[in-house]
């Protein structure tokens, strides 16, 4: 018998084999092996191996100073987490703080001094030896002194009140009196409030630990966690609800620039209450004109200006009365900055009407940090807008970034032609990109840093962030750099001691004062400072993430009264009546942003990712407008538009937002996450440059046109 193999048979065998192979484990195993193999590319980044450690510290990115647990591998911190047992922060930390361990690796990070080649528009920079940087600044210093005197040397301090701030002032004092400028911070309102009171009570603070209600105009202060847990009522007044007020009990959506009107209307309603004669007792001068002014601000009149319903204003006044003690505060917005002086005075007047001055749970005298007295009276603290235009020849820019914006348009007019800029920023970003020379300071976690408490609070506080990483060898603490400059210039010697020894002196002074409480980051109850045997114990406790909090302020025996000079009353009247309105075809530009993402610093990689891949944080360059406003201006969602103000023009992306106030364009400012990792210094400038500062240095609102490209 012969077997004949036909073509059909051959095809059947081949087909059957193919089907059989598919049913066998062989191809799947092959795929599996290929899949496994692709997981082991030789260029794959392996997770680091080594000894893991954990320690407690404090976040040094803002005055909240939250307790953090840092986990490290081989001595490098890789993750930060809040500490649940910490009595101060109550186990909370913000997104920026949680990603702070990545800041040292930011692509913008500078590892040594760099100098710009050529004029301001050039971005090329060359490394400079540390000693070369000292001699360069020394030469610029001598030239400036010869040409324009010591006053022409200025320091712009990004975070006043730190030990580093004292060093700046001592350096300027050694010149014979330079110009020390403090960037706007949360304490500015209470400083102005204090200046209005007679007798002058000195520094003030809000006793939020014991307050019942906080009415915040602008961004609310960093509330003590204990107050929030206690059920403190937060009322926020502003055109947009900022992130800090996301859980506010009541939001009063007022038109931009009408804060003074609302404050005066609330004061009027509070005084209307029978038996409320507090104003007569607490206002020293100009009482009658003030009452006449207040009489103009009935709820109905204020409603027309603020855009609120009269009933809403009355309801707010009722809540202020009901859940006392109440405090009215003027906050500072991360992007829009402080309120105008007239607004702040009107809010101070409301505070007086509420009876919060000198009362527990109100506004109280604030004792300073023991040991932190500066002894630098020759160099007073100045606001930037008080510095004459064109008067600064050498500007030293502090690199600290407390997370608040400062428009370059506020700084630029103060510079003389050809002025030199030296920055101490750790990153090549923000204002540092304009500097002729950058001498990078240690980045967060790289240096020992103190964290003074919020200047808004009535109790001073101090925490210490321990260094968890070694800074690159080219980085230098600004105080030590300036001491070297002083020595090279032949100035009277200023102390060059390292940060630790200077902070230890503060801690010794606190221990000597013997007041207040200390809390340990790891948990447990707060204990009296006096229970600590020595300053060394206090230092160790702080270095382990502890915090010292001053004793609760006590009300003064003599209640100060508000003294309103005629000029100030006119300022209030102007602020309350001078609402900025947009003309037809225009919008009001209001800058917005999240604290920490609008300042001069750089975003950590994980946060840049969040900004890029979600819209939780407003993306820099987005303009949020109401649908009606968009319709009137023929704007479409997602399209590019040109934004024009008297300061210039820029491109923005239109975002139609039903929650935006009609007639207003809320423009997100700050470093754009989209440019993360782009060539340092080559980024587009923030739209903050379109905000126009007025004579008082306020840039909150600007009329603008918005036209689709």
Partner 1 sequence: MSTAAASNSRYGMAIDLDRCTGCGACMVACAVENNVPVPPPEAGERKGITLLRVYRAENGRPFPEAETAHLPIGCQHCGEEPPCVTVCPQNAVEVDPETGIVGQIPARCLGCRYCMAACPYHARYFNWWDPAWPAGMEQALNPDIAPRMRGVVEKCNFCHGRLQAAKAKAAAEGRSELKPDEYVPACVEACPARAIRFGDLADSSSEVARLAREPRAFRLLARLGTEPSVVYLSDRDWVRRLGDAAGPALGESHG
* Residue 472 Ramachandran class (φ > 0 left, ψ -120 to 50 alpha, else beta): beta
Of 312 and 456, the one with the shorter C-beta distance to partner 1 is: 312
Residue 264 · residue 350 · CB < 8 Å: yes
Q: Sign (positive/negative) of CA torsion 116, 117, 122, 124? A: negative
**Minimum distance from CB of 7 to partner 1 (Å)?**
35
Nearer to partner 1, 193 or 427 (CB): 427
Least Cβ distance, residue 246 to partner 1 (angstroms): 4
Residue 417 token pair: 């032609």
Binding site for partner 1 (CB under 8 A): 31-32, 35-36, 38-39, 41, 43-50, 52, 71, 73-74, 76-82, 91-95, 98-99, 101-102, 104-107, 243, 246-247, 251, 253, 605-610, 612-617, 626-627, 637-638, 658-662, 674-678
| Token pair belonging to 486 | 């002083």
Instruction: Give me the DSSP letters along 420-460.
Output: EEEE--SBS-GGGGG-SEE-PPPPTTTS-EEEE--TTBSS-
Closest approach, Cβ 49 to partner 1, in A, equals 6
Cβ distance to partner 1 smaller for residue 3 or 39:
39
User: Under a CB-based contact definition with an 8 Å cutoff, are residues 416 and 152 in contact?
Assistant: yes
- 467 CB contacts (<8 Å, ≥6 apart)? 442, 445, 446, 447, 448
CA distances 210 to 92, 135, 628, Å, are: 20, 52, 43
Which residues make Cβ contacts (< 8 Å) with residue 394, sequence separation at least 6? 140, 141, 144, 152, 153, 154, 419, 420, 422
Q: Which residue lies nearer to partner 1 by CB, 9 or 33?
A: 33
Residue 68 has which token pair?
Answer: 């953090």
User: Among residues 122 and 309, whose Cβ is nearest to partner 1?
Assistant: 309
CB of 638 to partner 1, least distance (A): 7
Decide whether 282 or 334 has the Cβ nearer to partner 1: 334
Question: How many whole angstroms separate alpha carbon 78 and alpha carbon 75?
Answer: 9
CB of 616 to partner 1, least distance (A): 5
CB closer to partner 1, 280 vs 678: 678
DSSP summary character for residue 590 = E
Q: Could you tell me the smallest distance in angstroms from the CB atom of residue 220 to partner 1? A: 13
| DSSP classification of residue 283 | B
3-state secondary structure of 7: helix
Residue nearer to partner 1 on the CB measure, 309 or 565: 309
> Alpha helices of 515-599 — where are they, by DSSP H?
535-543, 566-577
Minimum distance of partner 1 from residue 687's CB (angstroms): 20
Cα–Cα dist 517/514, whole Å: 9
Taking the complex as a whole, how short is the minimal distance between the CB of residue 660 and partner 1, in angstroms?
A: 6
Q: Which is nearer to partner 1, 495 or 628 (CB)?
A: 628
Q: What is the dihedral of CA 185, 186, 187, 193, to 10 degrees?
A: 120
What is d(CA 423, CA 437) in angstroms, rounded to the nearest whole number? 6
Q: How far is the CB of 566 from partner 1 (least distance, A)?
A: 37
In the complex, least distance from residue 628 CB atom to partner 1, rounded to whole angstroms: 8
Across the chain, which distance is largest between two alpha carbons, in Å? 131
Residue 667 token pair: 């423009």
Instruction: Give 5 or 47: the residue with its C-beta nearer to partner 1.
Output: 47
Q: At its nearest, how many Å lie between partner 1 and the CB of residue 697?
A: 30
Name beta bridge partners: 521: none
b/e sequence 630-664, b meaning 16+ C-beta within 10 Å: beebebeeeeebebbbebeebebbbbbbeebbebb
User: Closest approach of Cβ 48 to partner 1, in Å?
Assistant: 5
Q: Which is nearer to partner 1, 1 or 47 (CB)?
A: 47
CB of 610 vs partner 1, minimal distance in Å = 5
Closest distance of CB 223 from partner 1, Å = 12
User: Which residue lies nearer to partner 1 by CB, 72 or 356?
Assistant: 72
Q: Name which of 4 and 38 has its Cβ closer to partner 1.
A: 38
348 touches 567 (CB < 8 A): no
Tokens of 218: 């602008």
Handedness of CA 200, 203, 208, 210 (dihedral sign): negative
User: What residues pair up with 127 in beta bridges, in sequence order?
Assistant: 114
Nearer CB in complex with partner 1: 92/276: 92
């Amino acid at each position: 018998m012969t077997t004949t193999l036909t073509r059909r048979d051959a095809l059947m065998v081949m087909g059957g084999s193919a089907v059989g192979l598919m049913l066998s484990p062989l191809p799947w195993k092959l795929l599996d092996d290929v899949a496994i193999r692709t997981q082991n590319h030789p260029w794959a980044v392996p997770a680091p191996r080594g000894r893991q450690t954990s320690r407690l510290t404090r976040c040094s990115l803002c005055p909240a100073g939250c307790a953090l647990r840092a986990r490290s591998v081989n001595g490098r911190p890789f993750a930060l987490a809040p500490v649940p047992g910490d009595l101060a922060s109550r186990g909370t930390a913000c997104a920026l703080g949680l990603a702070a361990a990545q800041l040292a690796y930011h692509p913008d990070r500078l590892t040594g001094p760099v100098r710009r080649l050529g004029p301001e528009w050039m971005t090329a920079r060359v490394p400079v030896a540390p000693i070369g940087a000292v001699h360069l600044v020394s030469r610029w210093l001598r030239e400036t002194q010869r040409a324009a005197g010591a006053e022409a040397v200025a320091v712009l301090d990004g975070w006043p009140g730190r030990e580093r701030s004292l060093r700046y002032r001592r350096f300027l004092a050694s010149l014979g009196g330079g110009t020390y400028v403090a960037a706007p911070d949360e304490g500015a309102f209470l400083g102005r409030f204090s200046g209005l009171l007679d007798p002058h009570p000195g520094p003030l603070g809000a006793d939020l630990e014991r307050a019942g209600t906080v009415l915040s105009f602008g961004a609310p202060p960093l509330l003590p966690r204990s107050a929030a847990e206690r059920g403190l009522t937060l009322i926020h007044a502003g055109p947009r609800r900022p992130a800090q007020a996301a859980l506010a009990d009541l939001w009063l959506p007022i038109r931009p620039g009408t804060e003074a009107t609302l404050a005066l209307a609330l004061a009027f309603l509070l005084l209307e209450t029978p038996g409320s004669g507090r104003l007569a007792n607490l206002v020293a001068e100009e009482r009658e004109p003030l009452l006449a002014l207040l009489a103009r601000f009935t709820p109905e009149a204020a409603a027309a200006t603020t855009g609120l319903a009269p009933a809403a204003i009355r309801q707010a006044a009722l809540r202020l009365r009901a859940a006392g003690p109440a405090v009215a505060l003027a906050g500072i917005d991360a992007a829009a900055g402080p309120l105008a002086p007239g607004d702040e005075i009107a809010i101070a007047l409301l505070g007086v009407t509420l009876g919060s001055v000198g009362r527990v749970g109100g506004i109280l005298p604030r004792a300073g940090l023991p040991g932190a007295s500066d002894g630098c009276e020759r160099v007073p603290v100045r606001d930037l807008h008080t510095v004459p235009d064109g008067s600064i020849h050498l500007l030293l820019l502090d690199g600290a970034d407390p997370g608040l914006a400062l428009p370059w348009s506020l700084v630029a007019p103060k510079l003389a032609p050809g002025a030199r800029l030296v920055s101490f920023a750790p990153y090549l970003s923000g204002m540092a990109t304009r500097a002729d020379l950058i001498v990078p300071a240690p980045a967060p976690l790289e240096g020992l840093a103190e964290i003074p408490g919020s200047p808004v609070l009535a109790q001073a506080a101090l925490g210490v962030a321990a260094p968890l990483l070694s800074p690159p060898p080219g980085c230098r603490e600004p105080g030590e750099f300036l001491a070297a400059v002083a020595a090279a210039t032949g100035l009277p010697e200023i102390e060059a001691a390292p940060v630790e020894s200077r902070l230890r002196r503060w801690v010794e002074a606190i221990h000597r004062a013997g007041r207040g409480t200390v809390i340990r980051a790891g948990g447990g109850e707060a204990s009296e400072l006096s229970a600590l045997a020595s300053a060394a114990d206090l230092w160790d406790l702080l270095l382990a993430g502890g915090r010292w909090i001053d004793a609760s302020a006590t009300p003064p025996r003599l209640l100060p009264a508000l003294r309103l000079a005629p000029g100030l009353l006119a300022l209030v009247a102007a602020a309350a009546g001078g609402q900025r309105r947009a003309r037809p075809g225009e919008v009001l530009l209001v800058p917005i942003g999240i604290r920490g993402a609008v300042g001069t610093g750089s975003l950590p990689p994980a946060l840049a990712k969040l900004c890029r891949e979600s819209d939780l944080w407003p993306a820099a360059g987005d303009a949020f407008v109401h649908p009606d406003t968009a319709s009137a201006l023929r704007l479409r969602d997602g399209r590019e538009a040109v934004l024009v103000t008297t300061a210039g023009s820029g491109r923005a992306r239109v975002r139609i937002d039903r929650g935006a106030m009609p007639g207003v364009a809320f423009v997100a400012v700050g470093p754009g996450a989209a440019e993360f990792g782009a060539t340092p210094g080559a980024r587009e400038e923030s739209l903050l440059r379109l905000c126009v500062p007025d004579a008082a240095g306020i840039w909150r609102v600007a009329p603008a046109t918005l036209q689709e490209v």
